[in-house]
Structure 1
């Protein structure tokens, strides 16, 4: 009889383990699917953003070729469309300065090449000397890569083709001038980007990833799931790598509304988003610290009051509300309410008793909540006052 009971208990234990393994497999599979869907959405967002760039580049190349051929009479003015495309494909927010660098670099390369070819002649080693001298002079005058690159490129061209160099200097400069000008006309007058649409398409995925990471951290704290907490930390680190693109797009939006007449009516809206961008940036870094301490908390077996994961979850809901505000022009009320709920829950957790890492998480929730309140347009003094009031009400 004892053997039969042990056999039945063993089968039941095996069944429970099999059921648990199946549940874990389903959860893992769902996470993989969700990440795939999120990555697909992000790629589509990026493709829509870059499709505007492709249209601008194609139009600028064709116009630059036509204008340069009409002005210079050259049958194949290849430098003009190349310069136009270089301006178009440069970083958002730096197109005007890149055009200036292009012209300065070409001019500098022509001057240095003319002086040195007249002094040392042309040949293999002479080309090396000319290019080295052009780079040194460019670096002495400016550290900007555009000036140095265009100066050295022009020096290579004129040094290698010295036999016809007297027919190259003027066309090279004029082509650079035409190409840069056409590139600016296309991006600022003919096909200017919609700055709000571009900002939303880049900001929304960053906010969604941040909200998902916070939700995963909250779940890990509830379950004391070290593996899930570690994955949430990895997510937070991945978000930081996207911030460079985030800021590039915001710089491009500002350049567009400053210089493109058709986008001047968007200035106020762009300014609103730009004022909140540094706070979103800061929230990303603060939640990374939060995620790291959640991993340590679980490793060390510290107490986890019930309201601590509630606080992290409410913070994620606040970020999600900010995302909805960005996408649908909703008001900031939901984001602010969730952020203050996060502060209240974090304060209750602190009063219930937390260890070292738990106390750090409480502080990071309050700091990130302040960042979110400021991202919605609330000034810092008002955000801190509201946080103090909510915290005091829990005592």
Structure 2
């Protein structure tokens, strides 16, 4: 009985701990979400207030409902698409107004006329742009014109003006009054991608050193969960370009650290994929019992350190010279491992170290030709102590 009671108490305590940890993690995630989009909320509030003030107080629009709605709709677009969203708003409203007015003159009002007007407005919007935002605006505006025009005079011009005011003031807020920091946008999006790569390369280095295939498989599985993070990084590069283009405060950064950081998205994507191949072949290497020279896990660990340094220097807006040096150190260590003797999968791992370093060097701002030249020079000769068919593979990487 005592043992059973103790077991029940332990189980309840475990449940309490798990519930507490889950609640803490949930709250932490929600606070992180609020911090991430808190600036957007302030921008949206300011843009909506300014849109209403300009439309009502300066242009004397009687009920400027759609101006603040257009402003909030523009800011609701993902960062990097707000200028396009403004253009889409204007196109959608224009299509809805034109189709609605033309058809009302010809067929009059009624339920079937409303249906026809909405269908034609959406079809024309799809033909002209194909964007969901354009289609929504065209359809909504056509509904307003078809239902309110008989009772509200001169509805078309205020609707069009509201779209211009709302979209324009949303851009003004994001570009001048409360501009985004493009480097911060990039850092926030790139950090999870690069942290994931660092962690799994480090785990693979440890797995190689301990010949632990299970740990290498876990690293392989973890690295595969990167699609959402990479997509967020790509979208952040679009947002950073937009912010540095629209905001006078950040114009000079377009060709400096922000421009270099934004251009790094594609080579970092390639580095992730090549690292996936490296980890996958590390699993095979361990499972097949191939030789693991001491320098091989060191090379993978050096590669992880290079990614870590690249992240830090990007975040600081500094020239990533230390990251380049560390990446080339990984190549030199991989060359030593190759000459000490590796099997077939080991040669592939070495080749992927070289290829991934080349990607990182391109991400740091070098051209592909410069990166390849530095990698070949750092690697040294291709004379391997044990032949595994890898020389040809390395020569082409």
For Structure 1 versus Structure 2, the TM-score category normalised by the shorter chain is: 0.7 to 0.9
- Segments of structure 2 that go 5 or more residues without pairing to the other structure are 1-20, 384-397
Shift of 1:162: 5.0
Secondary structure of 1:97's counterpart equals helix
Instruction: Label 1:213 to 1:53 Cα distance change in 2 as closer, same or farther (>3 A).
Output: same
Structure-2 residue corresponding to 1:292:
280
C-alpha displacement of 1:352: 3.6
Q: Is the alpha carbon distance of 1:119 and 1:152 closer, same or farther for their aligned partners in structure 2, counting shifts above 3 Å? A: same
Given the superposition, is the C-alpha separation of residues 198 and 46 from structure 1 closer, same or farther in structure 2, using an over 3 Å criterion? Answer: farther
* Distance change >3 Å, CA 211–CA 354, structure 1 → 2: same
Mapped partners of 2:124, 2:315: distance in 1: 48
Aligned residue for 2:301?
313
CA contact (8 A) 1:105 1:149 kept: yes
Match runs of 1:268-307 below 5 Å: 268-307=256-295
Distance change >3 Å, CA 119–CA 298, structure 1 → 2: farther
- Residue 216 (structure 1) aligned with residue 216 (structure 2): no
1:386 equivalent in alignment to 2:374: yes
2:127 corresponds in structure 1 to 140
Q: 1:204 and 1:50, CA in 2 relative to 1: closer, same or farther beyond 3 A?
A: same
Q: How does 1:225-236 map to 2 (within 5 A)?
A: 225-236=212-223
Deviation at 1:394? Answer: 7.5
* Residues in 1 aligned to 2:302 and 2:201: alpha-carbon distance in whole angstroms: 9
The offset of 1:165, in angstroms, is 5.3
Q: What is the alpha-carbon root mean square deviation over aligned residues? A: 2.6
* Matched residue SS, 1:322: helix
Q: Residues of 1 paired with 2:286 and 2:106: CA distance?
A: 73
The match for 2:55 is 68
Q: Matched residues in 2 for 1:215 and 1:67: separation?
A: 56
CA deviation profile, 1:192-229 (whole Å, cap 9, x unmatched)? 11112222222233212211111112122222323322
Contact residue 210 and residue 239 of structure 1 kept, 8 A: no
Correspondence 1:335 to 2:301: no
State the 1:232 CA deviation: 1.2
**Relative to structure 1, is the Cα distance of residues 191 and 134 closer, same or farther in structure 2, using a 3 angstrom cutoff?**
same
Aligned counterpart for 2:71 among listed residues 68, 80, 84: 84
Identify the residue that residue 118 of structure 2 maps to in structure 1. Answer: 131
In structure 2, the residue matched to 1:15 is none
Question: Does residue 112 of structure 1 match 2:94?
Answer: no
1:230 Cα deviation (Å)? 2.3
Say whether the 8 Å CA contact 1:105–1:138 is kept in structure 2.
yes
Q: Which moved more, 1:112-121 or 1:326-335?
A: 326-335
- Shift of residue 335 of structure 1? 1.4
Quickly say closer, same or farther: Cα 1:331–1:74, change in 2 above 3 A. closer
User: Which secondary structure does the structure 1 equivalent of 2:232 belong to?
Assistant: helix
C-alpha deviations, 1:13-33, integer Å up to 9, x for none? xxxxxxxxxxxxxxxxxxxx9
Map of 1:12 onto structure 2: none
2:204–2:219 Cα contact (<8 Å) kept:
yes
1:214-264 CA distances to partner (integer Å, 9 max, x unpaired)? Answer: 111212222232332222122212223211211222112212222221222
Larger helix proportion of the pair: 1
Structure 2 counterpart of 1:8: none
Paired position in structure 2 for 1:10: none
Q: Does 1:238 align with 2:225?
A: yes
2:163 maps to 1:176: yes
Q: Please identify, of 175-184 and 93-102, the stretch whose mean Cα deviation from structure 2 is larger.
A: 93-102
User: Which whole-Å deviations, capped at 9, do the CAs of 1:338-387 have from their partners, x for residues lacking one?
Assistant: 21122122223333443433222222111111111222233322221221
Q: Does structure 1 residue 155 correspond to structure 2 residue 142? A: yes
Query: How far does residue 275 in structure 1 lie from its aligned partner after superposition?
Result: 3.3
What is the aligned partner in structure 2 of residue 362 from structure 1? Answer: 350
CA contact (8 A) 2:51 2:68 kept: yes
Partner of 1:202: 189
* Residue-by-residue CA offset, 1:287-310 (whole Å, 9 max, x unaligned): 122222233333444433332222
Residue 349 of structure 1 corresponds to: 337
* TM-score of the aligned structures, taking structure 2 as reference length: 0.82
Cα gap change, 1:293/1:41 in structure 2, threshold over 3 Å: closer, same or farther? Answer: farther
How many angstroms does 1:144 deviate by?
A: 2.7
